[in-house]
């Protein structure tokens, strides 16, 4: 039997909470999620049943068949050797062309959107030119590419050319060692190869690549004429050389992509005519062939074209030319014109709304089996998932006009019906957003998917306008462009569309860990609990800090040291990316790169700098406890605290209880919140904002934890918030520490709303009561909560809606709970694929019920 | 010596294709595992020595 929420007295009435769907009364709490999937068609049911998931748990792939392929690394290396002496940007284009021309293509039974990035559907590619250490890790694992000797030789070849070899030269040995600890700072991108991008899909869908090739050819013609002008002027004339090479590289890349897509067309036709026996599928394969012959070469004419063209573009930008996590796109607005052609006008590729939902489900399953050749460290931080895949919907058009459409609804319906962990969805919330769509958002959340996560539409839009003022070429986002945004990864808005999108991680992404900094501030910058080395500057013996302000300033010094170093590492990486890791295909589909003849790795028009503080709340709660117990009440001395921490609190339990019971973030507590607000705004955001990055703008914090709150927790010694060494950090960016928000959901909102200055984004995880959300009042309560959240000007919120009973049942019998999905941090994961340590951090989050006081504050109409 | 040209899995690249080269073809093989059927296409040359999967056309 399902649990029903207890009745409450509200506004003088007794309110009962019967389930919205009475049939659920018969479903036990422990198995609810196994009863929610309802794939729209028999085809998507089959595709889900046979999906080749690439989930990792504790850094290991869950499916034993998953392994690395060798083709990509083989062909990029072959091309690199053969192209020695040519301009670097041309070499990059030839590398991509060689991969696309020679790689094995995959076509699977039942699929309609086709294309894969490795030579077998169980494989994923590797990128020795990005990070030889990541490849080395694979060579030593069960997932090694075969033949292993060849792979090892290729990896050895790239060492001297690698980004790591280039980037490391500009750091001291001490600095490198500090970064490679990954305890106060994330390791530099030139060592990990981790990357993210927002491809300008729209140019491919709207123009087609043939038109892009034409543009590049015209540009070259124009450049040649300019160079021939008399009298010769070297101060302008020589600039054309590099630009001509960039345009030539674009042509090479685009022609290769067209040929590759058309090889897929041939494959589908050959299978239809020589292998397939089912007449209906035969016909479908011929339609698939026709689509891949047309796109991405030509503009999309209908919705099927658009899904396919987008998929090919995704594969090139995220997986074949270079690895990049994410699934950044404003999918509903991008596809809406094609939805209208195919569903409303039925003038090309006619289909019903239900057919579109099926397409959405098929796209989700393609992403679910997309493998990423990430390093082990990056597999560990996304437990229970493949990688980060996040698409954006909802929001507004210029003038704050609702941008939701029937395409938005189809995306939500598909996600709700098929139930996959990825891709995650972000919904941009604005009061004008239509209720029909918001109900679908609610249904996904209520069904426990953990997404859509919600972003504040106005904050995101205004932020992009703010950044545009720092544009190096005075061509930042216009009002219209600022409205067309999607999240680049989990949390940070970035421009989508034809121009000015995020091209590489040097702009944003990467982490810094305040909890560990708190620990070393109390040890003169020394890491006594994990690495045994000096991780930051000497900020003094904490027992000599006579005032809280001295402790505060010591923290600031440690933080400023680390943040400058990590941004410097990203910008040095960007410098070398623009010289050796150009992306001619991406450049060809960006209007700015095309117009100016500048590679996408070099051109920056819209600054959008950010970095992710992870475990901020552990540090913040620690500062509150120290201020209260040592400096205000003087109950303990700093020396006593340092001694207790070095003993991991053993023998000091009463003292630990005092520190644990000191005021905590998320309870609308004035004492704690005043300190923590300052901490976020003055140090976490304030020190970061002093930095100017490659793009000429400030860097702002995007607090979001991915799975790193577990990793970093395990590397962080005991902290003054009463936490034991090794315990997990806080799981969001601004979320209360798990289990410490005891005053209900609206107290959390009030605390979080106090932090406003110097922030870019902050992740707020909340766990909602399943019986209340599944009751007849679920939507009204949630909607009033969301409206209050919007009015409080909070940037983000996301929800788990899963019972403790079901999570505990899944821990006992994982095989029976394959459809149980939870929100970890910026991503959702299959619960049973998360290590127990991580599962327990989710169970420990407070399940927020809504009492009469909360409903009164929210002015909920029941 | 048997070559790809005589194999039933060899499909010559049409002359109007962007990647056309004389003697170039697609080798298309059907595979099946626990998760279903799939097809692989790899470029080959008609005069390449045949492989273990060769099947007379
Ligand atoms: S490679 Fe083997 S299977 Fe393929 S066409 Fe040649 S002989 Fe046939």
pLDDT digits (tens, 9 = 90+) for A813-825: 999 998 898 888 7
A91 in a structural domain: yes
CB proximity list for A850: less than 8 A, separation 6 or greater: A744, A745, A769, A772, A781, A785, A858, A860
Can you tell me the mean pLDDT for A523-534? 96
| pLDDT of A622 strictly over 80 | yes
Q: What is the ipTM of this complex?
A: 0.99
Q: Are A132 and A160 in contact (CB under 8 A)?
A: no
A813 in a structural domain: no
pLDDT score, position A819: 87
The reply to whether residue B36 touches residue A108, judged by beta carbons under 8 angstroms, is: yes
pLDDT score, position B13: 98
Q: Is the CB of B25 under 6 A from ligand 1?
A: no
Q: Which domain holds residue A726?
A: 508-763
Q: Whose CA is nearest to atom 2 of ligand 1?
A: B51
Average pLDDT of every residue of chain B: 97
Determine the Cα–Cα distance for residues B4 and B50; give it in Å rounded to an integer: 5
Residues of B at the A interface, defined by Cβ within 8 angstroms? 11, 13-14, 17-19, 26, 28, 30, 33, 35-43
Confidence bin at B2 (pLDDT 50/70/90): very high
A191 in a structural domain: no
pLDDT score, position A84: 97
Residue with more model confidence, A446 or A59: A446
Average pLDDT of every residue of chain A: 95
Confidence bin at A270 (pLDDT 50/70/90): very high
pLDDT score, position A833: 86
The reply to whether residue B28 touches residue A267, judged by beta carbons under 8 angstroms, is: yes
Confidence bin at B1 (pLDDT 50/70/90): confident
Determine the Cα–Cα distance for residues A663 and A626; give it in Å rounded to an integer: 11
Report residue A218 CA to chain centroid gap. Answer: 37
A566 in a structural domain: yes
The reply to whether residue A105 touches residue B35, judged by beta carbons under 8 angstroms, is: no
| pLDDT of A278 strictly over 90 | yes
Confidence bin at A838 (pLDDT 50/70/90): confident
pLDDT digits (tens, 9 = 90+) for A547-599: 999 999 999 999 999 999 999 999 999 999 999 999 999 999 999 999 999 99
pLDDT score, position A672: 98
Determine the Cα–Cα distance for residues A355 and A353; give it in Å rounded to an integer: 5
Confidence bin at A1 (pLDDT 50/70/90): confident
| pLDDT of A376 strictly over 90 | no
Q: CA of B9 to nearest chain A CA: how many angstroms apart?
A: 9
**With contacts defined as CB-CB under 8 Å, which chain B residues touch A262?**
17-19
pLDDT score, position A9: 95
- Helices and strands (H and E) in chain A: how many: 37, 25
- Whether A270 has its CB under 8 Å from any CB of chain B: the answer is yes
Confidence bin at A381 (pLDDT 50/70/90): confident
Q: CA of A268 to nearest chain B CA: how many angstroms apart?
A: 9
pLDDT digits (tens, 9 = 90+) for A70-106: 999 999 999 999 999 999 999 999 999 999 999 999 9
Distance B40 CA to ligand 1 centre (A): 11
Number of domains in chain A: 2
pLDDT score, position A822: 85
pLDDT digits (tens, 9 = 90+) for A743-784: 999 999 999 999 999 999 999 999 999 999 999 999 999 999
pLDDT digits (tens, 9 = 90+) for A185-228: 988 989 888 899 999 999 999 999 999 999 999 999 999 999 99
User: What is the number of other CB atoms lying within 10 angstroms of the CB of residue A856?
Assistant: 12
Q: Is the CB of B54 under 6 A from ligand 1?
A: yes
| pLDDT of A836 strictly over 90 | no
| pLDDT of A331 strictly over 80 | yes
CB proximity list for A289: less than 8 A, separation 6 or greater: A265, A266, A268, A269, A272
Q: CA of B40 to nearest chain A CA: how many angstroms apart?
A: 5
Determine the Cα–Cα distance for residues A31 and A802; give it in Å rounded to an integer: 11
Choose one of A738, A763, A788: the last residue of a domain.
Answer: A763
**With contacts defined as CB-CB under 8 Å, which chain A residues touch B38?**
106-109, 121
Residues of chain A with pLDDT > 70, as a percent, come to 100
Residues of chain A with pLDDT > 90, as a percent, come to 87
Can you tell me the mean pLDDT for A128-138? 91
Confidence bin at A702 (pLDDT 50/70/90): very high
Chain A / chain B CB contacts < 8 angstroms: 67
pLDDT digits (tens, 9 = 90+) for A720-745: 999 999 999 998 899 999 989 999 99
The reply to whether residue B38 touches residue A109, judged by beta carbons under 8 angstroms, is: yes
pLDDT score, position A237: 96
Q: CA of A119 to nearest chain B CA: how many angstroms apart?
A: 8
Determine the Cα–Cα distance for residues A21 and A730; give it in Å rounded to an integer: 35
Distance A372 CA to ligand 1 centre (A): 29
Q: Which residue is closest to B14 within chain A, CA to CA?
A: A266
User: What is the number of other CB atoms lying within 10 angstroms of the CB of residue B51?
Assistant: 13
Q: Are A708 and A489 in contact (CB under 8 A)?
A: no
Can you tell me the mean pLDDT for A372-391? 83
| pLDDT of A383 strictly over 80 | no
pLDDT score, position A829: 84
Choose one of A711, A740, A763: the last residue of a domain.
Answer: A763
Confidence bin at A132 (pLDDT 50/70/90): confident
Q: Is the CB of B13 under 6 A from ligand 1?
A: no
**With contacts defined as CB-CB under 8 Å, which chain A residues touch B43?**
101-102
pLDDT digits (tens, 9 = 90+) for A563-574: 999 999 999 999
* Residue written as token pair 């005092």: A658
Q: CA of A826 to nearest chain B CA: how many angstroms apart?
A: 30
Q: Are A256 and A96 in contact (CB under 8 A)?
A: yes
| pLDDT of A382 strictly over 80 | no
Q: Which residue is closest to B39 within chain A, CA to CA?
A: A107
Determine the Cα–Cα distance for residues A640 and A239; give it in Å rounded to an integer: 65
User: What is the number of other CB atoms lying within 10 angstroms of the CB of residue A223?
Assistant: 18
pLDDT score, position A387: 87
Q: Which residue is closest to B26 within chain A, CA to CA?
A: A267
pLDDT score, position A353: 98
Q: Which residue of A65, A122, A270 is in closest CB contact with B26?
A: A270
A291 in a structural domain: no
Q: Is the CB of B49 under 6 A from ligand 1?
A: no
Q: With 0-12 CB in 10 A as exposed, 13-18 as middle and 19+ as buried, what is A101?
A: middle
pLDDT score, position A113: 98
Distance A111 CA to ligand 1 centre (A): 25
């Amino acid at each position: 039997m399902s649990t029903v929420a207890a009745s409450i007295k509200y506004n003088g009435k007794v309110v009962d909470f019967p389930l919205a769907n009475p049939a659920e009364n018969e479903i036990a709490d422990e198995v609810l999620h196994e009863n929610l999937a309802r794939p729209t068609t028999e085809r998507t049911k089959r595709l889900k049943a046979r999906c080749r998931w690439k989930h990792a748990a504790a850094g290991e792939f869950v499916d034993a068949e998953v392994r690395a392929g060798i083709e990509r690394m083989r062909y990029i290396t072959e091309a690199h050797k053969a192209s020695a002496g040519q301009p670097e940007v041309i070499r990059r284009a030839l590398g991509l062309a060689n991969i696309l021309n020679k790689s094995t293509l995959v076509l699977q039974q039942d699929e309609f959107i086709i294309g894969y990035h490795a030579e077998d559907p169980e494989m994923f590619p590797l990128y020795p030119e990005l990070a030889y250490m990541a490849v080395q890790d694979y060579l030593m694992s069960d997932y090694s590419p075969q033949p292993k000797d060849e792979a090892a030789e290729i990896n050895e070849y790239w060492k001297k050319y690698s980004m790591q070899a280039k980037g490391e030269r500009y750091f001291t040995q001490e600095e490198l060692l500090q970064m490679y600890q990954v305890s106060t700072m994330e390791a530099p991108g030139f060592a990990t190869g981790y990357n993210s991008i927002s491809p300008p899909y729209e140019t491919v869908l709207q123009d087609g690549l043939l038109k892009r090739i034409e543009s590049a050819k015209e540009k070259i013609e124009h450049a040649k004429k300019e160079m021939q002008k008399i009298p010769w002027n070297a101060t302008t004339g020589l600039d054309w050389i590099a630009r001509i090479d960039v345009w030539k590289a674009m042509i090479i890349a685009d022609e290769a992509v067209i040929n590759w897509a058309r090889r897929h067309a041939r494959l589908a036709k050959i299978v239809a005519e020589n292998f397939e026996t089912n007449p209906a599928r035969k016909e479908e394969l011929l339609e698939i062939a026709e689509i891949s012959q047309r796109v991405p070469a030509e503009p999309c004419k209908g919705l099927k074209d658009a899904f396919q063209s987008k998929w090919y573009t995704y594969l090139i930008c995220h997986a074949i030319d270079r690895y990049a996590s994410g699934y950044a796109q404003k999918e509903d607005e991008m596809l809406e014109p094609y939805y209208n052609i195919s569903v409303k006008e039925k003038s090309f590729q006619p289909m019903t709304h239900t057919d579109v939902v099926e397409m959405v489900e098929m796209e989700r399953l393609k992403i679910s089996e997309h493998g990423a050749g990430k390093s082990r460290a990056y597999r560990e931080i996304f437990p229970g998932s493949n990688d980060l895949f996040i698409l954006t919907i909802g929001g507004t058009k210029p003038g704050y006009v609702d941008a939701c459409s029937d395409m938005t609804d189809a995306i939500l319906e598909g996600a709700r019906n098929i139930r996959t962990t990825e891709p995650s969805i972000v919904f941009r919330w604005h009061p004008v957003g239509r209720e029909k769509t918001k109900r679908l958002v609610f249904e996904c959340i209520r069904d426990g998917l953990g997404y859509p996560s919600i972003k504040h539409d106005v904050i995101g839009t205004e932020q992009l306008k703010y950044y545009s003022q720092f544009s190096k070429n005075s061509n930042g986002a216009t009002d219209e462009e600022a409205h067309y945004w999607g999240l680049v990864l989990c949390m940070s808005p970035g421009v989508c569309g034809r121009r000015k999108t995020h091209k590489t991680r040097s702009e944003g992404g990467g982490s810094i860990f305040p909890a560990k900094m708190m620990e070393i501030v109390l040890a003169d910058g020394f890491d006594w609990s994990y690495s045994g080395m000096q991780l930051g500057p000497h900020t003094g013996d904490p027992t000599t800090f006579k005032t809280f302000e001295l402790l505060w300033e010591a923290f600031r010094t440690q933080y400023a040291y680390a943040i400058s170093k990590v941004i410097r590492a990203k910008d040095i990486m960007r410098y070398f990316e623009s010289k050796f890791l150009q992306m001619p295909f991406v450049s060809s589909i960006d209007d700015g790169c095309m117009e100016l003849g500048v590679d996408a790795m070099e051109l920056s028009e819209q600054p959008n700098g950010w970095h992710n503080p992870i475990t901020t709340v552990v540090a913040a709660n620690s500062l509150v406890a120290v201020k209260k117990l040592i400096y205000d009440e003087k109950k303990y001395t700093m020396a006593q605290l340092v001694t207790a921490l070095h003993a991991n609190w053993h023998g000091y339990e009463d003292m630990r209880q005092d520190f644990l019971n000191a005021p905590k973030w998320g309870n609308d507590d004035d004492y704690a919140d005043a300190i923590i607000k300052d901490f976020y705004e003055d140090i976490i955001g304030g020190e970061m904002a002093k930095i100017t990055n490659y793009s000429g703008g400030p860097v702002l914090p995007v607090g979001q934890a991915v799975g790193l709150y577990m990793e970093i927790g395990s590397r962080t010694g005991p902290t003054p918030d009463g936490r034991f060494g090794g315990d997990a950090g806080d799981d969001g960016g601004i979320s209360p520490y798990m289990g410490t928000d005891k005053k209900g959901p609206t107290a959390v909102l009030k605390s979080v709303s106090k932090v406003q200055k110097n922030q870019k984004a902050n992740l707020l995880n909340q766990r909602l009561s399943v019986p209340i959300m599944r009751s007849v009042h679920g939507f009204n309560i949630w909607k009033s909560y969301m409206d209050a959240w919007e009015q409080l000007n909070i940037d983000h919120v996301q929800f788990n809606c899963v019972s403790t009973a079901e999570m505990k049942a899944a821990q006992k019998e994982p095989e029976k709970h394959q459809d149980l999905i939870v929100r970890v941090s910026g991503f959702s994961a299959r619960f049973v694929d998360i290590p127990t340590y991580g599962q327990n951090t989710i169970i420990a989050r407070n399940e927020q019920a809504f009492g009469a006081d909360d409903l009164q504050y929210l002015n909920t109409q029941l | 010596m048997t070559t790809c040209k005589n194999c039933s899995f060899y499909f010559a690249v049409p002359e109007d294709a962007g990647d056309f080269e004389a003697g170039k073809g697609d080798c298309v093989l059907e595979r099946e595992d626990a998760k279903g059927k799939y097809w692989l296409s790899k470029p080959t040359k008609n005069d390449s020595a045949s492989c273990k999967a060769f099947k007379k056309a």
